[in-house]
Structure 1
């Protein structure tokens, strides 16, 4: 169902009739796609192997080794810019992630409010190697932006000043 809705653009409603497993009913609410189709194709095995080798079989977020000679995690060939946002399956847009980091990235993408994937530390961790990235509540974010506006500085500079003030 998710594939039909997300990739093919159909409008499908899920209705839960009882609390048991497999008791969902699906009702088609459109006679065809209601948004552009975005069909995902599997990354070819050869391309995945090239990406893993290029990244030395290391998760690009946490650094965990994902090689075939260990049993802790499996490598995931992740789209930096998700296919749903128009990302290609070319090696330049792919990275090696461990299973745990791929799940974290997937959750972050689902709630993403960034205007572009190029600003995302999950998509382009190499741009954020020397930074400490944190998620703050909307209230803290508002206070940081207000401090930046009042003091005429960037939000990251304001956050740094506020953090230093709270530590000392």
Structure 2
């Protein structure tokens, strides 16, 4: 089975002498469903951030979807992010955009036509039972509804990898 993530002696930190994760070794097979658990502040979100390039490895190596995350170029990072779906802990919905347009964002970035994007968004909003909210804006929804919008957005472009930080926190 192909490995979608490979970490070798991976160390992550935000400051030079404040290591959050030290010398981690693991791999994740394509098609796997993996939960990362631990106490608050133990580095779960930091690890997820490294998977989509928001934090670079301090030491060791990290490969995600065949892309080496150490000193990754902007072009390769953009390529990777077009193939990853992310449900952020705080959702990161655009407050000035409708729910429909928020879900459409990855499709817009990937260059899909309006017809294809619209059909995909309607399907996903139906799946998360929010089709009736498509014209509303994020502040008009409950926390759980916003989280379902974030999940639909993460799935919109049929990603090869889905990362979810506290995906059931408000559900």
Asked if TM exceeds 0.5, the reply is no
Structure with more of its chain in strand, by fraction = 2
Tell me the TM-score normalised to structure 2 length: 0.27
For the pair shown, the structure with the greater C-alpha radius of gyration is 1
Structure with more of its chain in helix, by fraction = 1
Tell me the TM-score normalised to structure 1 length: 0.28
Higher relative contact order at CA 8 Å, sep ≥6: structure 1 or structure 2? 2
